[in-house]
Amino acid sequence: MTFKEQILEGIPDHLPAEKPYEIDINHAPKRKAILSPEEEKLALRNALRYFDKKHHNTLIKEFKHELDTYGRIYMYRLRPDYKMYARPIDEYPAQSKQAAAIMLMIQNNLDYAVAQHPHELITYGGNGGVFSNWAQYRLTMKYLAEMNDEQTLVMYSGHPMGLFPSHKEAPRVVVTNGMMIPNYSQPDDWEKFNALGVTQYGQMTAGSYMYIGPQGIVHGTTITVLNGFRKINKTPKGNLFVTSGLGGMSGAQPKAGNIAGCITVCAEVNPKITQVRLDQGWIDEKISDLDTLVARVTKAKSEKETISIAYLGNVVDVWKKFDEENIHIDLGSDQTSLHNPWAGGYYPVGLTFEEANDMMANNPELFKEKVQDSLRLHADAINKHTAKGTYFFDYGNAFLLEASRAGADIMASNGIDFKYPSYVQDIMGPMCFDYGFGPFRWVCASGKPEDLEKTDAIACEVLEEIKRHSPKEIQQQMSDNIQWIKGAQANKLVVGSQARILYADAEGRAKIAEAFNQAIAKGDIGTVILGRDHHDVSGTDSPYRETSNIYDGSRFTADMAIHNVIGDSFRGATWVSIHNGGGVGWGEVINGGFGMVLDGSKEASKRLKSMLFWDVNNGISRRSWARNEGAVFAIKRAMEIEPNLKVTLPNLVDDEIIDSL
């Protein structure tokens, strides 16, 4: 069968042959056994409902084996034979170009070069799934192929509920992931209900089909590292950044360190993903001996090199060794998946990778003890370095949160706050999000590198023009992003689709998008798909990350993220998504995203202006109401630009009035 025929087939009438378990693929760890015997039967019933009764006797044994062996029913037999990657948009069988664009993005999320655990349909973060099983993937792609522009596909946590009548201006797809009743949103609830096949963890951009590989966070990490060094009044050159994690999102750290110009040491326990990053050129060297690492870093410091080094081993050992050898760390962080600490997001020191995986599945209570022991040791080692002048920040991965739950010494003297800031509190919030700058991204649906090169040039030209007239408050942001886009081609950031990301405010996003749409109308480039990371100005309510610099008490509310998705959906988004969970954990965050297809039409021009303005200024207005100085400035400027915008501004209260009580 051709690729198009396989897509249109959906769930096949005749079962394909069983597929061998490919040991060379980076697989998800075995999930702990959490279902009761009756719940296991329910999980099997839930899985078998995708198939005709004639297949049930064959599949029930197979699915029971998967559940017993891996803790989940992935339906490996249904994995397609064709190569998984983002094809040019015209190669998809589709009645709607918008639907074809979504098919392209789904396949990009599952590309072996992009996805962390491609056979388990997990894009990044250890559990960030596009779907829970391969039947869902096949059925979704079939629905998208059949969809017309007056239908909307409804996605319930990876399950395609079906096509419903709507209209041309409605989103083509509406995605929800993990939207639990609040009292059922603990980590074990995810384990249980995911094993039952009724919900999934969509991470941030995995379950919304908008992940573009590590490039998506390379830029944000570059900005963070640059501003981190600015904060301590140092240049990156010859200075050291120590962190950990080389998986999906965290894999961007060494590449960003190279772009910023510092020495980066990034520890990783998984040999497969470490080798992938070395092969991709995202790290320069791999070292597995601590003495060799010390010698190499010492040499790099003395020669003021720009270099990224992966240490194949546990980061706790690196922090301890560098303390013993008096290696000064300038910037320190951690980007292991501590939102998922008990199922592969964090590996405890003192165990091999294989020993940890075995304990995780077969003795989860002991594994949890080991993780918490390790977090205490981790924090103690960091504390020794910060006492010597290291600037440490939490990278929004729930490191400080989980360390505090483990009883580590990371609390401030008031017993309420952490002694170390979140990077959003110190860097990204006041310097970027409050002013409306966040991760705007696009994908060239033609698949042509030359289209990406042309869009880079268009974006750079637009930003340089805006910068000539922009106020001093955002000049640094403009300069950083112009520098970034000029170096984007040289830094070889494309993994998977022909995609790009930069930080832009509402004005920048709308003007860049309009310039793309005009270029498409002229035939200079093909279709472009717009999106953003959920880690943005408006998309995410996350009290320990995106909204950690909100100090009016509202950081634990989720009104902004919900309004963001609702507002995007009727202002022209091609698809919208809302998720429970993300980089800081299940039950800890609500985040929303969108995708928008530009086809060169007047309708697309109208939609982009309406939606992108709202998508950013919704968040600025909330940050302004929280009395954030940069956001007050930004929303006043937005009201001057758009007379139809009227936002409630805060009246500031003098401290002495409050203190006089």
Which DSSP string do the residues of 483-519 spell out, in sequence order? Answer: HHHHHTTTTT---SSSEEEEEE-HHHHHHHHHHHHHH
Six-digit token string for 655: 């401290």
Of 334, 217, 331, the residue nearest 263 (C-alpha): 331
Q: CA-based angle 253:217:611, to the nearest 5? A: 170
From 428, 420, 394, select the one nearest 630 (Cα to Cα).
428
447 is in an annotated binding site: no
- Cα four-point dihedral sign 420, 424, 427, 431: negative
Name the phi and psi angles at 648, rounded to 5. -70, 125
Contact status, residue 456 vs residue 500, Cβ threshold 8 Å: yes
Q: Residue 22, annotated ligand binder?
A: no
395 is in an annotated binding site: yes
d(Cα 371, Cα 385) in Å, to the nearest integer?
21
531 in a known ligand binding site: no
Compute the distance between CA of residue 372 and CA of residue 364 in angstroms, rounded to an integer: 12
CB neighbours of 118 closer than 8 A, spacing ≥ 6?
25, 26, 84, 110, 111, 112
Assess contact for 334 and 369: CB atoms under 8 A: no
3-state secondary structure of 185: coil
Q: Are 92 and 100 in contact (CB under 8 A)?
A: yes
Work out the number of other CB atoms within 10 angstroms of the CB of residue 155. 25
* 126 labelled ligand-binding: yes
What end-to-end distance do the CA atoms of the chain give, in Å? 78
Q: C-alpha distances in angstroms, 659 versus 322, 526, 625?
A: 45, 61, 22
- What is the 8-class DSSP label of residue 156? E
Cα distances from 180 to residues 156, 188, 343, 422, 543, in angstroms, run: 11, 13, 20, 27, 18
| 508 annotated as belonging to a binding site for a ligand | no
Residues belonging to the binding site are 125-126, 203, 268, 395, 583
Residues belonging to the binding site for NAD(+) are 125-126, 203, 268, 395, 583
